[in-house]
Amino acid sequence: MNVIDSSAWLEYFAAGENATFFAAAIEDIQELVVPTLSLYEVFKRVLQQRTENEALQVVAVMQQGLLVDLDANIAVSAARLSINHHLLMADSVMLATAREHEATLWTQDAHFEGIAGVKYRKEPS
CATH number at residue 9: 3.40.50.1010
The tally of domains found in the chain comes to 1
pLDDT at res. 106: 98
CA nearest 7: which of 121, 84, 92?
Answer: 121
How many other CB atoms are found less than 10 A from the CB of residue 30?
Answer: 8
Q: Is residue 124 part of a domain?
A: no
Examine the pLDDT at 114 and tell me if it is beyond 90: yes
Which whole number is the average pLDDT over 103-121? Answer: 97
**Contact 32/66 with Cβ under 8 angstroms?**
yes
The answer to the question of residue 9 being in a domain is: yes
Task: Give the sign of the dihedral formed by CA 48, CA 51, CA 55, CA 58.
Answer: negative
Instruction: Decide if 31 is inside a domain.
Output: yes
pLDDT at 125: 80
Q: Which domain holds residue 15?
A: 2-119
What residue type is 81 in one-letter code? L
Average pLDDT over residues 8-35: 98
pLDDT tens-place string over residues 48-88 = 999 999 999 999 999 999 999 999 999 999 999 999 999 99
Residue 11 domain-assigned (yes or no):
yes
In a domain, 100, yes or no: yes
Please say whether the beta carbons of 113 and 5 come within 8 A: no
Separation between Cα atoms, residue 51 and residue 56, nearest integer Å: 9
- Does 125 map to a domain? no
- Which residues are 4's β-sheet partners? 106
Residue at 8 is within a domain? yes
pTM of this structure = 0.96
Residue 29 lies in a domain: yes
Q: What is the distance between the alpha carbons of residues 96 and 90, in angstroms, rounded to a whole number?
A: 10
- Tens of pLDDT along 27-43? 999 999 999 999 999 99
Characterize the bridge pairing of strands 32-35 and 104-107: unpaired
